[in-house]
């Protein structure tokens, strides 16, 4: 995980990524995993043809909950769209390449 900051900087600032859900998801996932020691996954939803949205889910007391963010505050959020798949860190990074 020592390369996490590099990954966030490389992928989070990429002009090829549209919107801000990927950088936010990477930030939230790293904070929840590293600071709170929570298991995470990425929920991927289709917004419209050719446009996906990603949200972080974290496991708390055996229940998957959605993560959200306001500026640098991370808190429990709500589902934005119905996910069609869930990705691990490795799977997400493979898709972003």
Q: What is the spatial distance between Cα 47 and Cα 80, in angstroms, rounded to a whole number?
A: 9
76 or 7, higher pLDDT? 76
Instruction: Name the more confident of 56 and 7.
Output: 56
**pLDDT value, residue 60:** 94
Q: Contact at 8 Å (CB) between 17 and 23?
A: yes
Q: pLDDT tens digit string along 15-74? A: 334 568 888 898 899 988 888 889 999 999 998 888 889 999 999 999 999 999 888 888
Distance CA 72, CA 92 (A): 22
Domain that holds residue 10: 4-96
Q: Which residue has the tokens 């929840």?
A: 32
Q: pLDDT at position 19, please?
A: 67
Domain total in the chain: 1
Q: 3-class DSSP state for residue 64?
A: strand
């Amino acid at each position: 995980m020592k390369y996490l900051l590099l990954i966030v900087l490389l992928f989070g600032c990429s002009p090829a990524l549209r919107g801000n859900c990927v950088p936010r998801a990477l930030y939230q996932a790293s904070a929840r995993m590293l600071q709170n020691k929570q298991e995470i996954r990425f929920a991927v939803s289709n917004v419209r043809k050719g446009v996906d949205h990603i949200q972080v889910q974290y496991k708390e007391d055996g229940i998957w909950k959605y993560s959200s963010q306001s500026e640098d505050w991370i808190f429990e959020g709500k589902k934005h769209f119905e996910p069609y798949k869930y990705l691990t860190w490795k799977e997400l990074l493979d898709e972003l390449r």
